[in-house]
């Protein structure tokens, strides 16, 4: 057991003891007056300094602080809602605030406080707290202010139910759980790291930024790569695709995959880009890496993963070209690349995304999927214009097409 882990276990015992102390109404630990997010940021700074023991302590404090704060908030919200003011209103936060204000203030006094607070809801809530108000009113404001440390007021949709849901979700702190996993990962404690990453992902509905769920999964995939665990690496990459598809308005379902495959294999890449536009999203990296993974193993799934990755990059580049020339229309890969080279920001973007590598993987995948004539069209474009090593490699493909087929799979992802 490393020194870092000994510190972590010791601190876990301290945190557990602290929770019992709270239950007994004894004085809290000194750090518990700090907001959970501050402890999280302290942990990140310690991580950057390679003070991994200190980082774990801060992350555990963040987890404990948030659990304690929102467990108490749930009780205070229940207290505030068990009142005449709450029972007289519907699901509206603003209506309940007005109902509490009607009990505690003269109308002119309340209007003055609202006017002096401007458009800021936090300023208004803090101004109300500074006045003599009922315990239930104060409890409601305290809960709302606590939630607003992590959620926007507009995101609550003026809904008391949404506030209650946020309180319930924010008891968990997936960001801190994730960073604990990063410490274990860098310390080589892969089993503990995996447990933390899975725990953080299971708490994904509590994330402050919903898209951070993909950061967690990519880190989990990196862990499996470090362990040379090919099966779990592939499974995790596909979880990224499945999770994003669930959340997207346009689902890349089996019917769409089949349609894209038919287009690529029958009418080719230029037609594919005419028909489909996919936004660059968090699944780009997963699609790009899965394409090479499948291609290296001679698996035809490579085709759609490669096509989606290329389409995402080119769709964004086309948007950039249209911003420069509003009348741009896709007519083919050769024409597109010529126009892209004339605009520095577009060519820089394509280079950053390694488009030539992506296109070579796509062409090779088309060949493996038996779309051999369509693959040759992309190879010809790359042979004419791509840099080393992709231009020469495409030239070799034209003289020896079977070089697109990997002879043996690599040991890991």
- pLDDT digit string, tens, across residues 105-147: 998 999 999 999 888 999 999 999 999 999 999 999 999 999 9
Distance, in Å, from the CA atom of 269 to the CA atom of 87, rounded to the nearest integer, reads: 62
52 and 179 co-located in one domain: yes
The parent domain of residue 8 ranges over 3-72+172-227
- Provide the token pair at 105: 């203030």
pLDDT at site 250:
56
Distance, in Å, from the CA atom of 184 to the CA atom of 176, rounded to the nearest integer, reads: 13
176 and 165 co-located in one domain: no
Residue 2 has pLDDT above 80, yes or no: no
Distance, in Å, from the CA atom of 321 to the CA atom of 258, rounded to the nearest integer, reads: 29
Does residue 209 fall inside a structural domain?
Answer: yes
Residue 351 has pLDDT above 90, yes or no: yes
- pLDDT digit string, tens, across residues 362-408: 999 999 999 999 999 999 999 999 999 999 999 999 999 999 997 65
Q: How many CB atoms lie within 10 A of CB 409?
A: 12
pLDDT at site 16:
38
User: Contact at 8 Å (CB) between 124 and 141?
Assistant: no
Strands (DSSP E) contained in 226-385 are: none
User: Contact at 8 Å (CB) between 374 and 269?
Assistant: yes
Does residue 249 fall inside a structural domain?
Answer: no
pLDDT at site 411:
52
Residue 92 pairs in a beta bridge with 159
Nearest Cα to Cα of residue 305 among 292, 314, 320: 292
- pLDDT digit string, tens, across residues 322-344: 998 888 999 999 999 999 999 99
User: Contact at 8 Å (CB) between 233 and 413?
Assistant: yes
282 and 392 co-located in one domain: yes
Distance, in Å, from the CA atom of 220 to the CA atom of 241, rounded to the nearest integer, reads: 14
Please return the burial class of 375, using the count of CB atoms within 10 Å of its CB with bins 0-12, 13-18 and 19+: buried
32 and 159 co-located in one domain: no
339 and 196 co-located in one domain: no
DSSP letter for each residue of 211-248: THHHHHHHHHHHHHHHTT-HHHHHHHHHHHHHHHHHH-
Indicate the Cα dihedral angle 252, 258, 263, 268, nearest 10°: 90
Percent of the chain with pLDDT over 90: 82
Does residue 232 fall inside a structural domain?
Answer: no
15 and 36 co-located in one domain: yes
Does residue 281 fall inside a structural domain?
Answer: yes
Q: What are phi and psi of 92, to 5 degrees?
A: -90, 125
Q: How many CB atoms lie within 10 A of CB 293?
A: 22
- pLDDT digit string, tens, across residues 46-83: 999 999 999 999 999 999 999 999 999 999 999 999 99
Percent of the chain with pLDDT over 70: 88
Residue 9 has pLDDT above 50, yes or no: no
Distance, in Å, from the CA atom of 76 to the CA atom of 144, rounded to the nearest integer, reads: 10
106 and 206 co-located in one domain: no
Report the predicted TM-score, pTM, of the whole model to 2 decimal places.
0.84
191 and 317 co-located in one domain: no
For tokens 């690529």, the residue is 264
Distance, in Å, from the CA atom of 288 to the CA atom of 310, rounded to the nearest integer, reads: 8
Q: Domain total for the chain?
A: 3
Distance, in Å, from the CA atom of 246 to the CA atom of 265, rounded to the nearest integer, reads: 27
87 and 150 co-located in one domain: yes
Residue 194, domain CATH: 1.25.40
Query: Where is 142: in which H helix or E strand?
Result: helix 135-147
328 and 278 co-located in one domain: yes
User: Which residues neighbour 14 within 8 Å (Cβ) at sequence distance 6 or greater?
Assistant: 29
10 and 143 co-located in one domain: no
269 and 390 co-located in one domain: yes
- pLDDT digit string, tens, across residues 135-192: 999 999 999 999 999 999 999 999 999 999 999 999 999 999 999 999 999 999 999 9
């Amino acid at each position: 057991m490393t020194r870092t882990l000994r510190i972590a276990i010791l601190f876990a015992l301290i945190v557990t003891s602290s929770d019992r102390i709270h239950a007994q109404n004894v004085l809290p630990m000194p750090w518990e007056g700090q907001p959970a997010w501050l402890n999280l940021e302290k942990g990140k700074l310690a991580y950057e300094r390679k003070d991994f023991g200190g980082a774990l302590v801060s992350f555990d404090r963040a987890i404990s602080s948030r659990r304690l704060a929102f467990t108490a908030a749930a009780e205070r919200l229940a207290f505030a809602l068990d009142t005449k003011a709450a029972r007289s209103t519907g699901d509206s936060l603003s209506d309940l605030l007005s109902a509490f204000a009607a009990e505690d203030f003269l109308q002119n006094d309340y209007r003055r406080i609202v006017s002096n607070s401007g458009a800021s809801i936090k300023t208004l809530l803090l101004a109300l707290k500074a006045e003599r108000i009922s315990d239930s009113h104060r409890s409601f404001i305290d809960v709302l202010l606590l939630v607003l440390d992590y959620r926007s007021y507009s995101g609550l949709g003026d809904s008391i139910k949404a506030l209650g849901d946020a309180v319930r979700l924010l008891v968990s702190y997936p960001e801190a759980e994730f960073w604990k996993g990063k410490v274990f990962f860098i310390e080589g404690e892969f089993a503990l790291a995996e447990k933390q990453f899975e725990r953080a992902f299971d708490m994904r509905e509590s994330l402050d930024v919903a898209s951070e769920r993909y950061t967690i999964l990519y880190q989990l995939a990196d862990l499996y790569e470090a362990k040379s665990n090919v099966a779990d690496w592939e499974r995790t990459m596909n979880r990224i695709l499945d999770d994003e598809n669930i959340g997207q308005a346009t689902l890349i379902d089996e019917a769409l995959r089949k349609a894209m495959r038919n287009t690529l294999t029958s009418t080719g890449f230029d037609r594919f880009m005419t028909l489909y536009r996919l936004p660059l999203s968090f699944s780009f990296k997963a699609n790009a890496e899965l394409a090479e993974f499948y291609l290296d193993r001679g698996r035809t799934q490579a085709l759609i993963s490669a096509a989606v990755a290329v389409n995402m990059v080119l769709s964004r580049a086309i948007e950039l070209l249209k911003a420069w020339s509003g009348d741009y229309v896709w007519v083919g890969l050769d024409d597109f690349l010529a126009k892209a080279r004339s605009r520095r920001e577009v060519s820089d973007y394509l280079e950053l995304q390694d488009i030539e590598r992506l296109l070579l993987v796509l062409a090779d995948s088309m060949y493996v999927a038996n779309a051999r004539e369509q693959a040759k069209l992309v190879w010809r474009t790359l042979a004419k214009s791509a840099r080393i090593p992709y231009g020469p490699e495409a030239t070799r493909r034209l003289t020896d097409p079977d070089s697109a087929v990997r002879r043996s799979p690599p040991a890991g992802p």
